[in-house]
A and B are shown apart, each in its own frame.
Chain A
Amino acid sequence: DSGVTQTPKHLITATGQRVTLRCSPRSGDLSVYWYQQSLDQGLQFLIQYYNGEERAKGNILERFSAQQFPDLHSELNLSSLELGDSALYFCASSVGQLNTEAFFGQGTRLTVV
């Protein structure tokens, strides 16, 4: 167990809908990272928050947004969902701002039908 908690584990929703994925980092970690893993694209970095502030951004779609709350948990919001958004979404956390010793959660498997 990495200490990073993601909910829900599985999510099935229809195209056009909006979902929220939640991540609780390890105790003491200030950075939260979001990744998308699909068969064709592999593991893709989406966005990083450090102590509530956005720190780094990857190829995150405009339909996707994230935030980190004062208690350091984070949410990833996915809207206007398309079939191609079906993937595993991972959250990771680390103490510092560099993603060198990050611990990953077990992921949320999103299926868009």
Chain B
Amino acid sequence: QKEVEQDPGPLSVPEGAIVSLNCTYSNSAFQYFMWYRQYSRKGPELLMYTYSSGNKEDGRFTAQVDKSSKYISLFIRDSQPSDSATYLCAMSEDTGKLIFGQGTTLQVKP
């Protein structure tokens, strides 16, 4: 079993929809939770960073962490075609070692 599980999709939604992306994990020592966006053939770009449990909002993006369920989510409101990319969750303990999910491919159709 992988430490971090993420449904690879693909996920296809119409423009303007609310998108929900999720990851589960098994290591209860994870404290730092991140979401990255990766466009084809580009490096990952940090979207959101959350420490421990709770919610964090940044514009159209909301990250949620539920440590009791070992479950994290990223919500994208009013999705745009430019949001079409692969979204990677990532998490770490109190070290520099970051464990990534497999990534979910999102397509937002105009």
Contact residues in B for A90 (Cβ distance below 8 Å) = 43-44
Stretch of B13-21, B61-69, B92-100 lying at the A interface: B92-100
Interface centre among A2, A42, A97, by most B CB within 10 Å?
A: A42
B103 CB, nearest partner CB in chain A, Å? 7
A28 CB, nearest partner CB in chain B, Å? 16
Is the CB–CB distance between B96 and A48 below 8 Å?
Answer: yes
In the complex, whether B45 has a CB less than 8 A from a CB of chain A is yes
Is the CB–CB distance between B43 and A107 below 8 Å?
Answer: yes
A18 CB, nearest partner CB in chain B, Å? 24
Interface size on A, residues (CB 8 A): 27
Contact residues in A for B71 (Cβ distance below 8 Å) = none
Is the CB–CB distance between B88 and A43 below 8 Å?
Answer: yes
Interface centre among B34, B42, B43, B99, by most A CB within 10 Å?
A: B43
Known: A42-B102, A43-B88, A98-B92. A2 touches B97 (CB 8 A): no
Which residue from chain A places its CB closest to the CB of B42 in the assembled complex?
Answer: A106
Contact residues in B for A98 (Cβ distance below 8 Å) = 32, 92, 94-96
B82 CB, nearest partner CB in chain A, Å? 18
Ranked nearest first, the 7 interchain pairs of A and B with the lowest CB-CB distance are A104-B43, A48-B96, A43-B100, A56-B96, A99-B98, A56-B97, A99-B96
Encode contact with B along A83-111: 1 for CB under 8 Å, 0 otherwise.
00000001010000111111111110000
Is the CB–CB distance between B98 and A45 below 8 Å?
Answer: yes
In the complex, whether A68 has a CB less than 8 A from a CB of chain B is no
In the complex, whether A31 has a CB less than 8 A from a CB of chain B is yes
Given A2-B45, A101-B46, output 12 extra A-B contacts at Cβ < 8 Å: A43-B90, A45-B97, A45-B100, A48-B96, A56-B96, A98-B92, A98-B96, A100-B32, A104-B36, A104-B43, A105-B43, A107-B42
